[in-house]
Amino acid sequence: MAADSSIILAPLLDASTLAALAAPLAGLAVYGLWRRARGAWLRLGFAAAALAVLLQPVRLVHERQVQPDIAVMLVDESQSQAEAGRLAQTQRAADALMAATAADTTLEWRVVRVQSDAQGNDTATALFTALADALHDEPRGRLAGVVLITDGLAHDSERQAALGDLEAPVHAILTGDPAMRDRQLVIAQTPRFGVVGRPLAISVRVDDGDGAHGDVPLEWSYDDNAPQRRLVKVGEDVTVMVTPRHAGANTVRLRVPALAGETILFNNEALLSINGVRDRLRVLLITGEPYPGERAWRDTLKADPAVDLVHFTIL
């Protein structure tokens, strides 16, 4: 702890009032000294003491205690990190950082472990959301830096804008093998519902990374039925036609084969749920001479919103 002191003035009156009081007192003191009046020095001392009281000098003692800097470490423990020994790499990197700075008393670590989305979306990594939450209560003036230990997969990149005023450096330690390739099946566009029996277009893309190209087989199936197959080009959006088979939820499973030596396989397939709805049933009702049964049929069919009724009466 360091301490120093200084003298400051805390006047009881404002500056103009003090000047108005000091001017005549100074004038009288100077006049008395000039005339060598008896007690002039004593009166000058009393005037100076009165002005000193009104100025109210205060001795201010400053005590400073040095606060350590804060470093935030985000440890990615999401589902994608569980593949290919990445969690072990992540833990070794975190332990090495803590050991390297253990002797530094001017640095405090805030370790935040980021897991998959708790809302049931097991593959989503809210990396930047966790970082924003970790920095919310920390004084920005003490922030020394941020270290991200992750495989680089984050699903909330839109939150980066909220960290635009972050002045501390941000470092990333990427886990995994740089030579490892990962194939990913991306659903670019899919409808949420469709009419039973009518084909729907689903836009998909196969990404192999590093500008890879070629043809790969894509297969899809309905509710665990026999799959259908076709070749698609890597890196290009292709349209796949699927047809809801029944009313309610229709599950469509799409899959592409794994690359040679690929260890992360969960993103090689996708499950879609398309809500099937039935089109209105068209009914042609032809009647002859009116009778009570004809009215009952007509009222029953018209009351059903799924029925499109056309009624002819032939007399």
Write out 210-250 in H/E/C secondary structure: CCCCCEEEEEEEECCCCCEEEEEECCCCEEEEECCCCCEEE
Residue 248 has pLDDT above 80, yes or no: yes
pLDDT confidence of residue 123: 55
Q: What is the pLDDT of residue 120?
A: 43
For the CA atoms of 273, 256, 122, 158, the dihedral, rounded to the nearest 10 degrees, stands at: -90
241 φ, ψ (degrees, to nearest 5): -95, 125
CATH of 69-174, one of 3.30.300, 3.30.70, 3.40.50, 3.30.310: 3.40.50
Q: What are phi and psi of 107, to 5 degrees?
A: -135, 130
Which residue type occupies 279?
Answer: D
Tell me which of 47 and 236 has the higher pLDDT.
236
pLDDT at position 265 over 80: no
List the structure tokens of 126: 């809210």
User: From CA 77, how far away is CA 149, in angstroms rounded?
Assistant: 9
DSSP assignment letter at 196: T
Per CATH, 69-174 and 184-277 having the same topology is answered no
User: What fold characterizes domain 184-277?
Assistant: Immunoglobulin-like (2.60.40)
In this predicted structure, the answer to whether residue 163 has a pLDDT above a threshold of 70 is no
Average pLDDT over residues 30-51: 75
Left, alpha or beta for 39 (phi > 0: left; psi -120 to 50: alpha)?
left
Domain boundaries, the chain: 2-64, 69-174, 184-277, 281-313
Q: What is the pLDDT of residues 117-154, one digit of tens each?
A: 544 444 567 777 888 888 887 787 888 888 888 877 77
- The model's pLDDT over 171-215, given as tens digits with 9 standing for 90+, comes to 888 887 776 777 888 888 888 888 888 888 999 998 887 667 788
What's the token pair of residue 19?
Answer: 């000047």
Please tell me the distance from the alpha carbon of residue 150 to that of residue 172, in angstroms, as a whole number. 7
* Beta carbons of 304 and 283 less than 8 angstroms apart: no
- pLDDT averaged over the chain? 80
DSSP state of 192: S
Average pLDDT over residues 257-277: 82
What is the mean pLDDT of the segment spanning 60-81? 81
DSSP assignment of 102-116 equals: TT-TTEEEEEEEE-S
